[in-house]
Structure 1
Amino acid sequence: MLEHGGRLRRFATHYQRPEADWLDLSTGINPNGWPVPDLPASIWQRLPDNDDDLILAAQSYYQTENLLVVPGSQAAIQLLPRFRVPSRVGIVSPTYAEHGYCWQQAGHQVQNVRLESCDLTGLDVLIVVTPNNPTGQKISTDQLLICHQELQQRQGWLIVDEAFIDTNPQQSLLPLDARDGLIVLRSLGKFFGLAGLRLGFVSAPKPLLKQLEHALGPWPVAHASRYIATQALEDTDWQQQTRRQLKHASQRLAALLSEYKLYASGGCDLFQWVKTDHAEAVHHQLAEQGILTRLFDEPASLRFGLPGLESDWQRLQTALEML
């Protein structure tokens, strides 16, 4: 299994500090997520219904009709490599490691690329995460469509993972008409702060969506998850307010880190990314104070998610002062 953010219990055991005494900044998930209401008891007594209002709510929110609900975008990341013959796959790196891992496990040739100097010659599939995780790099729609056009000349795929794009929906490819070879992944885990639902969406040409649907089998997403997601996607007032709050919080985090010479090398509205030769030492010293960050080896760097409460901000500042 690859390393990811979270896994708080492991760190609590290692540093001998109770889980309740940690501030987890390792995941990039909105700490003030959509407020889930009390659920009717009947929710727990029914199998999921594909004819509920979820797809309609998602089509309105994402501005596209070609959508399939999946049990987290991770499920699609794992399944998509099965639907191509052995291919040459380029991944704009560094990025979310599961993309490369899943394509390699399925027998494809995977190489890391940098899009600004990327020659797509010889590639059958290009995978782009925008905003990127963990660098925060954003790839313009125009640049992505140029890549898609070139790949389509040889029946290639462009896979765009938009897990962190919800604060800037105007940058999404989803409102464009469905195009052969264009696959877009979305998640309710990050912006909505609902990672525990394990719910996401795939937009792709209908034949590929049918393949994915068949591979997932019946009832891939729990009825409770569908019910909650529908309401969250329809809550436009919360979405607009949260976009403003996250932008402000991200700017505040970058400013706070810079006060202690941890200058952001990149980031987005849900996290800041700091490249530093001292990443491992900073990660360890913060963990000793009960603050968990996401440590990366290549390049040596840290990802800081957003504190949620004002007391969390003060706790982070106190910990940074002690580095």
Structure 2
Amino acid sequence: MSGFTWHGGRLAEARAAYGGEEWIDLSTGISPLTWPGIDDVSTDWRCLPDPRDLAEMEAAAAAHFGVDPDHVCTLPGSEMGLRLLGRMLDMPARWLVPSYRTHGEVFARGRPMVEGEEAPREAVALLLANPNNPDGRLIPPARLLEWLEGLEQAGGWLIVDEAYADAVPSCSLAGAVGDRRRLILLRSFGKFFGLAGVRLGFLVGPRAIVAAARRILGEWPVSTAAVAFGRAAYRDRAWIGDAIGLLEERAGLLDALLARHGLAARGECPLFRLVEVEDGSALFDRLARKAILTRPFEENRRWLRLGLPGGAAEWERLDRALADG
């Protein structure tokens, strides 16, 4: 189980352990609604990424986030931004749990915040995800801004991993980013647009932090294809609006499907749900034997996270697999 509890998307490992070819991957929380324009974007693989194209893509992303392009730095995936900040800030940290495993690895000095602990008012970096993973909880922006004020007074930073915020735009703190704020956001392209393999993300923060990150990453932080996909997708406002509505609708359908099988869903992020059962590892194994990959957790063996199925056939297979207990 150790590999499957580390992160999602280990289909080759699942096939080796359980057999089968036609797997349904519900382990990652990546949207099943893949942005359809990808097939219409042409890429010249012979050319290096053009700085002007990169700037246009950052402008399109910035408009989507609601910030000035000067506050946006392109990353080869948002996880790279997390690890980069650990080196750039070089200070003690606190991080909320449960959350991404990466959060506990980013800073050399620090500790997780215990349940019920108040937000720090000291010179530390407070790292959290909103929406959170794996439980899908949302922290109201007003509360985060209160935490930010306390951290700023002490010389600390608030770092918010908004990898899933495209699906819940009302939770984003992008409107609070500024040169006088000690606030840094990380955004992900692949989760909402269903294109995780593009490996595209963004750091959003004060221009001094953005400039420092750009110097470290260099002139070509991502591929020509990532630039082309990001530029076109972030400009597709109609699809983005439709996708947000459809994801909310499908999350409701997943809640209902799970409830029919006695499973109470937790979370407010429409891209995945967390269930708590007597033995999450056993449920993971039962679904895996039906070639359905989900996400178990080493830190809590009662948990299992499920992403959204794709087409009707995947919904029917999940329904049958849960019924076959």
- Which category describes the TM-score, using the shorter chain as reference length? over 0.9
Structure 2 partner of 1:50: 51
% of aligned pairs identical? 37
Structure 2 partner of 1:217: 218
Q: Is the 1:266–1:274 contact (alpha carbons within 8 Å) kept by the matching residues of 2?
A: no
For residue 69 of structure 1, what is the amino acid of its counterpart?
T
Q: Is the 2:123–2:157 contact (alpha carbons within 8 Å) kept by the matching residues of 1?
A: no
Report whether the alignment pairs 1:100 with 2:104.
Answer: yes
> Aligned partners of 2:292, 2:132: CA distance in 1, in Å?
23
How many equivalent pairs are there? 315
For residue 290 of structure 1, what is the amino acid of its counterpart?
A
User: Which has the higher mean CA deviation after the structures are superposed, 313-322 or 259-268?
Assistant: 259-268
**Cα offset, 1:84, TM superposition:** 2.5
> Aligned partners of 1:195, 1:119: CA distance in 2, in Å?
32
Specify whether residues 8 and 267 from structure 1 end up closer, same or farther in structure 2 by C-alpha distance, changes over 3 A only. farther
Question: Once the two structures are superposed, what CA deviation does each residue of 1:251-274 show, in whole Å capped at 9, x if it has no partner?
Answer: 110111111112113241101111
Question: Once the two structures are superposed, what CA deviation does each residue of 1:136-193 show, in whole Å capped at 9, x if it has no partner?
Answer: 1101111101111100112111000111111221321112241431001110111111
Question: Once the two structures are superposed, what CA deviation does each residue of 1:80-125 show, in whole Å capped at 9, x if it has no partner?
Answer: 11123341x111110011011122xxx21222344x6424144611
Structure 1 partner of 2:154: 154
Where 1:68 maps in the other structure, the secondary structure is: strand
Question: Once the two structures are superposed, what CA deviation does each residue of 1:52-72 show, in whole Å capped at 9, x if it has no partner?
Answer: 220121121111011111111
Report whether the alignment pairs 1:62 with 2:65.
Answer: yes
Q: After superposition, where does 1:71-220 map in structure 2 within 5 Å?
A: 71-87=76-92, 89-103=93-107, 107-114=108-115, 117-122=117-122, 124-178=124-178, 179-220=180-221
**Cα offset, 1:240, TM superposition:** 1.0
Where 2:165 maps in the other structure, the secondary structure is: coil
> Which of 311, 314, 319 matches 1:312?
314
Report whether the alignment pairs 1:10 with 2:2.
Answer: no
> Aligned partners of 1:86, 1:173: CA distance in 2, in Å?
22
For structure 2, the residue ranges without an aligned partner over 5 or more in a row are: none
> Aligned partners of 2:177, 2:214: CA distance in 1, in Å?
21
Where 2:159 maps in the other structure, the secondary structure is: strand
Structure 1 partner of 2:305: 303
CA RMSD of aligned residues (A): 1.6
Tell me the TM-score normalised to structure 1 length.
Answer: 0.93
> Aligned partners of 1:214, 1:99: CA distance in 2, in Å?
23
**Cα offset, 1:214, TM superposition:** 1.6
> Aligned partners of 1:297, 1:280: CA distance in 2, in Å?
9
Q: Is the 1:90–1:123 contact (alpha carbons within 8 Å) kept by the matching residues of 2?
A: no
Q: Is the 1:159–1:184 contact (alpha carbons within 8 Å) kept by the matching residues of 2?
A: yes
Structure 1 partner of 2:244: 243
**Cα offset, 1:239, TM superposition:** 0.7
Specify whether residues 167 and 86 from structure 1 end up closer, same or farther in structure 2 by C-alpha distance, changes over 3 A only. closer
Larger relative helix fraction = 2
Q: Is the 2:60–2:231 contact (alpha carbons within 8 Å) kept by the matching residues of 1?
A: yes
Tell me the TM-score normalised to structure 2 length.
Answer: 0.93
Structure 1 partner of 2:39: 37
Question: Once the two structures are superposed, what CA deviation does each residue of 1:267-312 show, in whole Å capped at 9, x if it has no partner?
Answer: 4110111122210000000000100000013223011000010010
> Aligned partners of 2:159, 2:119: CA distance in 1, in Å?
17
